[in-house]
Amino acid sequence: MRTLFWLFLFPFLIAHAFGDSAKSVVLPPGVRLERDIAYIPEGDEAQKLDLYLPEEVPTDPLPLVVHIHGGGWIGGSKFPCPVAGMAAKGYVVASIEYRFSNKAVFPAQIQDCQAAIRWLRANHEKYHLDPEKVGVVGASAGGHLSALVGTSGGKTPFPLVGGNAEQSDRVQAVCDIFGPTDFTTVVQQAAEDTKVKNIFQFNSPKDPYSLLIGANLEDNKKSSAVSPGTYVSEDNPPFLILHGTHDALVPYAQSVQFFESLKEKGVPVWLQTLPGAGHGGPAFGQPTVIQLMQNFFDKFLQGADLEIVLVPEAKLTGKK
């Protein structure tokens, strides 16, 4: 197992709620960091990214993994990057920042993510990355944006910002970790969840969902536009979805609904259910779950001859 890679991924998986609580990061041997690169020249202060690169110039271009942090679309940070260790294992890693909803409502967040991906492709020769092998990963709000990158890529439903319009914003693999995927059903699903009570007061001044779209969630047009499920189509990239059954921030039913929509369109998709897990926590760092995620990216970005096999729920609960 690629121990060092997962050593860096583990803090990401156990992050509390919508963000990452890590205070510092130590780069693995052989990895260098370029911080605060503007992907939109003279743009907003938030429109920057960090790049984790091998110290030695690779012989061949490397696949790229883009990390999108969580934080309820109103907080969090691109640094430290919890998946930085992938840069020691045959990847280039980009950790991107984006405008928060208290500065600009949706679609600013997805526009920034897509602008960053286009910028990275435009600069693929400089950073020795493979523009045809791009994956994205994020949890919670970052999971939502990762999923939206995946389903809306290439469709141009949102006005472009930042230039590089000749570059594609499609990706080849998405790992969505408990991200909300349908704002039109989230309120009902939360109300119907018999396992856990959702902590949010939807449509209140403190509700991150309605704050993101700048409107009541009953505004079907805006709620549909922000939802990754709206853009599901047969040409979407492969998806790996992870979600706990006792999530009090994003109903587990969101991922079940999203999984079924992708599957109906024939998209390669896997839903790893974590029985009893909440919104993050140690369950997501179990070795079998970690191996599943590693296999997913290695298969679809590095071309590894691997079979994606979900972890039996009994192994995650300790039951036999």
Output the pTM of the full model: 0.92
Query: If pLDDT is split at 50, 70 and 90, which confidence band does 7 have?
Result: very low
Q: Quick check: 289 and 242 in contact, CB under 8 A?
A: yes
Write the burial class of residue 14 (CB in 10 Å: 0-12 exposed, 13-18 middle, 19+ buried): middle
Write the burial class of residue 129 (CB in 10 Å: 0-12 exposed, 13-18 middle, 19+ buried): buried
Q: In angstroms, rounded to a whole number, what is the distance separating the alpha carbons of residues 134 and 103?
A: 28
Tokens of 113: 């993510």
Question: What pLDDT shows up at residue 70?
Answer: 97
Domain boundaries defined on the chain: 3-317
- CATH class of the domain defined by 3-317: alpha beta
For residue 159, how far is the Cα from the chain centroid?
21
**Mean pLDDT of the region 102-128:** 98
Question: What pLDDT shows up at residue 257?
Answer: 98
Average pLDDT of the residues of the chain = 92
Decide the pairing of beta strands 48-54 and 92-96. antiparallel
- Cα-flanking dihedrals φ and ψ of residue 233, to 5°? -155, 170
pLDDT at 23 over 60: no
pLDDT 10s digits, 242-256: 999 999 999 999 999
% of the chain residues with pLDDT over 70? 91
For residue 149, CA distances in Å to 206, 213, 307 come to 26, 17, 24
From 12-16, 99-103, 225-229, the region with the lowest mean pLDDT: 12-16
Query: If pLDDT is split at 50, 70 and 90, which confidence band does 291 have?
Result: confident
pLDDT 10s digits, 125-170: 999 999 999 999 999 999 999 999 999 999 999 999 999 999 999 9
Query: If pLDDT is split at 50, 70 and 90, which confidence band does 24 have?
Result: low
Q: In angstroms, rounded to a whole number, what is the distance separating the alpha carbons of residues 13 and 295?
A: 16
Nearest to 101 by CA among 27, 41, 18: 18
pLDDT at 4 over 80: no
